[in-house]
Structure 1
Amino acid sequence: MRAVIAEDAVLLREGLARLLEEGGFDVVDCVSDGESLLRSVEKNQPDVCVVDIRMPPTFSDEGVRAALVIRKQWPDVSLLMLSQYVEERYAVDLLAGDSSGIGYLLKDRVADVSEFLEALRRVAAGGAALDPEVVTQLLVRSGRKDPLEPLSPREREVLGLMAEGRTNSLIAESLVVTEGAVEKHVTNIFLKLGLPPADQAHRRVLAVLRYLEHDHK
């Protein structure tokens, strides 16, 4: 898998490059800003980009804006976004369309090398990956009624894992239950939230986010 890294912090950028290469990725370019990222994607046609949400010159949303351009012009390029903090608006913006091949992780998650590489491979293969902390803040927003109130504790667990982009089999493995039991929980979740059930992990993530976006307008 060919990868491009967009990160302005030199040490983190170099560390990511080494981590990806050791994980079997071919790092074809490393850049430090959104404009350079767009030029690199056009030139190198990578399979996946690891992108910092905040980059020069304003350190606000350069990474997100570049990612949205990439999604439009090069839809086959997967994107794993990194952020220092949970920024709900950016997560919803990135997942507002087709969420296949998209990820949003906090930078602290990079410290867990195996977990980070697993998420990157999942995104590069067309799946989705959301940081558990991002999921938590999206699902339960300050001062708002909990949209998951109808769900049982086990259903909340399943939804959290589902929103991270895990398949039913991976959820079953994590919770030490049968895949059939997970399927029943998933069906109940969508029924209780008033959402149509879907099979693919990234469609389930998108459905949850659409529900939340509508619920809190």
Structure 2
Amino acid sequence: TELAQAQAGVEQAQAAAEEARHRLDLLGVDPAHHTHEITVRAPISGKVLEIAVAPGEYRTDLAVPLMTIADLSTVWVSSQVPESSIRFIEVGEPIEIELAAFPGELFHGRVRRIADTVDVQTRTVKVQAELDNRAGRLRPEMFGSIRHTHGSRSWPAVPVSAVVRGDSESWVYVEREPGEFERVAVACGEVRGGWVPVVRGLKAGERVVSQGAVLLAGS
């Protein structure tokens, strides 16, 4: 009936008015003292990274951002650490970072997060470090390299050919007497330049078979 339609129209108008008042509340505007200028305050302190509105543009959708603001006083750096080296990384340890934008200059930070999973494609683990950026020199998406410095130490290194790899372990043959060799289980690091560091099982100065170790394994 006409009365029901009129009542429905009133309810719709009241709902629209309530929504308008809610929007004004979000903007901090008092309807009783409305002016043409509205001050939109940022929820945080920081830098404006992107502006998505132009002067004079009319916006009604409160879900669409006007600009992007970020606090860059502290920035995060992400790195992909090989699975074989993740055991050397600890939360809280210091790191050194060299950025392509500042060659030869080192920035210092600390490890804050280590991912709980391994990337199945790259076999790496994501590590995130935190850096002080109060000077404002570091920007999002910069590229660089990270060196972990905490607890660094030296290990003996052997040629890759000296390491025999089995199904569940790796080993080398250590010379105990001239012509006598002992099989010693070892844990190895990442191969670099044809050499592999032995992080467990071998002492500095010990002589190992560097050629033909596989033949000894089959004897």
Relative to the length of structure 2, the TM-score reads 0.22
Greater strand content = 2
Larger radius of gyration: 2
